[in-house]
């Protein structure tokens, strides 16, 4: 379980831990000393392991900050981060103070908690961590990493009196630490196979876990799903009394992919409800797959109108256009060109390969790939093989769940005859890739947010050493 020793309420060791949270580094150490299910090896997803009662007790000790905030709750397998980003960007452009809670982070843990795009400050983070640690000491509980960071996010948003917070689930939905909230709208993005050893081996099992965020009387929106997933979502929604609408079925939606001299290749969406018409809006993020995420964001905005939010047309369009998603289709280096994307399941990798092909001109592409061991590795590798002309397998240095690169290479060789290499570290992988590409080629780092975060940090440090803009 936790690396720290579980303590009784108010005992000496717990109080000493609180007293030590006086600097940012100590606050981060206290957080990372907790059990972090994002980093531990494969485990079983059980009600015993994930107890919302513990989360509720912690929040109660902190004054129930989550009950002081209006929220949007987003779950799903593919497109959560993009959908959250578009919703938040529209809200901010329309004049609202918007909290944004996402995971995982790329470089700094504070990225997970932001207001209007600005991560929580270090001083605030220390104070929030100390308050939370004091509550933990009094309760004598042993919360997880994700429970702590979620509690801190709710506290920060409440203290800063945000108008609304857009909250992304961490894992699943039913037993996720964020599922103590009662949002204005519940949103479920595309459900695919991922974390199968944890959430379930079948799509209906996974869908049932994601549908756990649906709540009585809270409007819910989702996109087109497979027939078996749709059946589960409708069943759960009916059982709990959540009015559920499907974009593309219950909400009129269409899109088209095209190109123009000013915008290049891009997708435009149309979405119509009883109260809104969004006609031919450009999707701000590259890739045809982002049309469904954009439609979900717009349908969420429409649902928020019914709760009193106002969205002037010009500001709405401007906010959508300004959407920013670090670590997704992000070009982080020019010579050679290096693109990073945190795609970490087969559907996302497939979408990435199609997106790169449609939006980035290149002669050949070298993929630097690493992934976690709890993934459907054969399915991931099949998608990587569709786009990469050469694959370099590596792993993130701080991820104990990383699959050994030579094992990835062995499995890939059973799928494809494309050229591959193995590098024990990302740094060495990027050096190999740089020697293998020419001016018109592309390096794509993908398979894991851990790998993408490490790549961004390494290249930013390299730019600083060379006196270049990071």
In a domain, 151, yes or no: no
Reported confidence tier of residue 401, pLDDT bands at 50, 70, 90: confident
pLDDT of the residue at 11: 57
The sheet with strand 277-282 has its strands ordered as 252-260, 264-272, 277-282
Residues 238 and 302 in one domain: yes
**Residue 316: which CATH number?**
3.40.1190.10
Residues 311 and 286 in one domain: yes
Residues 380 and 349 in one domain: yes
pLDDT of the residue at 35: 78
Percent of the chain with pLDDT over 90: 80
pTM above 0.85, yes or no: yes
DSSP SS3 for 31: helix
Residues 237 and 309 in one domain: yes
Number of domains forming the structure of the chain? 2
Q: What is the mean predicted confidence (pLDDT) over 24-49?
A: 72
Kindly report the backbone phi and psi dihedral angles of residue 170, in degrees, each rounded to the nearest multiple of 5, phi listed first.
-90, -55
**C-alpha to C-alpha distance for 92 and 411, rounded to whole angstroms:** 45
Cα 301 versus chain centre, distance: 20
Smallest CA-to-CA distance from 168 within 103, 260, 122, 118 is with 103
Reported confidence tier of residue 15, pLDDT bands at 50, 70, 90: low
Contact 185, 73 (CB under 8 A): yes
- Helix (H) or strand (E) segment spanning residue 267: strand 264-272
**C-alpha to C-alpha distance for 171 and 44, rounded to whole angstroms:** 13
Residues 367 and 294 in one domain: no
DSSP SS3 for 7: coil
Inform me whether the pLDDT recorded for 263 exceeds 80: no
pLDDT of the residue at 250: 95
337-375 pLDDT, tens digit per residue, is 999 999 989 999 999 999 998 889 999 999 999 998 888
Inform me whether the pLDDT recorded for 9 exceeds 50: no
**C-alpha to C-alpha distance for 223 and 235, rounded to whole angstroms:** 16
Inform me whether the pLDDT recorded for 309 exceeds 70: yes
Give me 412's structure tokens. Answer: 């890939």
Q: How many CA atoms within 13 Å lie on the side-chain side of 239?
A: 11
Q: Which of 274, 298, 321 is the last residue of a domain?
A: 321
205-257 pLDDT, tens digit per residue, is 999 999 999 999 999 999 999 999 999 999 999 999 999 999 999 999 999 98
In a domain, 88, yes or no: yes
In a domain, 376, yes or no: yes
Q: What is the mean predicted confidence (pLDDT) over 307-313?
A: 96
Smallest CA-to-CA distance from 75 within 200, 237, 213 is with 213
Reported confidence tier of residue 6, pLDDT bands at 50, 70, 90: very low
Quote the domain boundaries for residue 340. 330-465
Q: Which of 256, 287, 321 is the last residue of a domain?
A: 321
Pairing, β 113-115 against β 118-119: antiparallel
DSSP-assigned letters across all residues of 402-450: BPPHHHHHHHHHTT--SEEEE-SSHHHHHHHHHHH--TT-EEEEES-HH
**C-alpha to C-alpha distance for 428 and 425, rounded to whole angstroms:** 5
Smallest CA-to-CA distance from 153 within 84, 236, 255 is with 84
pLDDT of the residue at 72: 98
Which residue shows structure tokens 């959250």?
A: 84
pLDDT of the residue at 19: 75
pLDDT of the residue at 49: 60
pLDDT of the residue at 266: 84
Residues 304 and 391 in one domain: no
Reported confidence tier of residue 470, pLDDT bands at 50, 70, 90: low
Average pLDDT for the chain: 91
Percent of the chain with pLDDT over 70: 92
pLDDT of the residue at 284: 96
In a domain, 409, yes or no: yes
């Amino acid at each position: 379980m936790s690396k720290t020793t579980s303590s009784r309420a108010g005992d000496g060791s717990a109080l000493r831990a609180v007293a030590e949270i006086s600097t940012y580094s100590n606050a981060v150490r206290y957080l990372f000393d907790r059990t972090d299910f994002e980093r531990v090896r494969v485990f079983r997803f059980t009600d015993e392991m994930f107890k919302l009662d513990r989360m509720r007790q912690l929040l109660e000790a902190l004054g129930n900050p989550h009950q002081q905030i209006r929220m949007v709750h987003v779950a799903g397998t593919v497109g959560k981060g993009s959908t959250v980003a578009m919703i938040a960007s529209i809200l901010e452009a329309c004049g609202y103070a918007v909290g944004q809670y996402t995971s995982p982070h790329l470089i700094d843990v504070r990225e997970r908690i932001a207001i209007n795009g600005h991560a929580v400050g270090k001083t605030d983070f220390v104070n929030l961590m100390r308050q939370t640690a004091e509550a933990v000491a009094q309760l004598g509980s042993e919360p997880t990493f994700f429970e702590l960071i979620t509690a801190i996010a709710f506290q920060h948003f409440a203290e800063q009196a945000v108008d609304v917070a857009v909250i992304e689930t961490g894992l699943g939905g039913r037993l996720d630490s964020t599922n103590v909230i009662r949002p204005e709208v519940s949103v479920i993005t595309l459900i695919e196979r991922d974390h199968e050893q944890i959430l379930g081996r079948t799509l209906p099992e996974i869908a049932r876990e994601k549908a756990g965020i649906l709540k009585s009387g809270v409007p819910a929106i989702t996109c087109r799903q497979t027939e078996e997933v749709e059946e589960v979502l409708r069943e759960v929604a009916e059982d709990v009394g959540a009015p559920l609408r499907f974009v593309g079925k219950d909400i009129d939606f269409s899109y088209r992919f095209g190109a123009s001299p000013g915008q290049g290749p891009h997708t435009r969406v149309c979405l119509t409800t009883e109260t809104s018409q969004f006609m031919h809006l450009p999707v701000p993020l590259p890739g045809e797959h982002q049309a469904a995420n954009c439609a979900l964001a717009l349908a969420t905005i429409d649902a928020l109108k019914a709760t009193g939010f106002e969205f002037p047309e010009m500001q709405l369009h401007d906010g959508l256009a300004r959407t920013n998603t670090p670590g997704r289709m992000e070009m982080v280096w020019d010579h050679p060109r290096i693109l990073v994307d945190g795609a970490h399941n087969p559907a996302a990798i497939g979408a990435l390969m199609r997106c790169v092909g449609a939006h980035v001109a290149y002669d050949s592409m070298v993929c630097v790939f690493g992934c976690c061991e709890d993934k459907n590795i054969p399915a991931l590798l099949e998608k990587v093989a569709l786009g990469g002309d050469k694959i370099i397998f590596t792993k993130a240095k701080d991820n104990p769940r990383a699959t050994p690169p030579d094992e990835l290479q062995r499995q890939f060789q059973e799928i494809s005859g494309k050229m591959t290499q193995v590098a024990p570290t990302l740094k060495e992988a990027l050096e190999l890739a740089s020697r293998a590409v020419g001016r018109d080629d592309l390096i794509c780092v993908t398979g894991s947010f851990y790998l993408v975060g490490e790549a961004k940090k390494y290249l930013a440090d390299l730019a600083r050493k060379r006196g270049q803009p990071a």
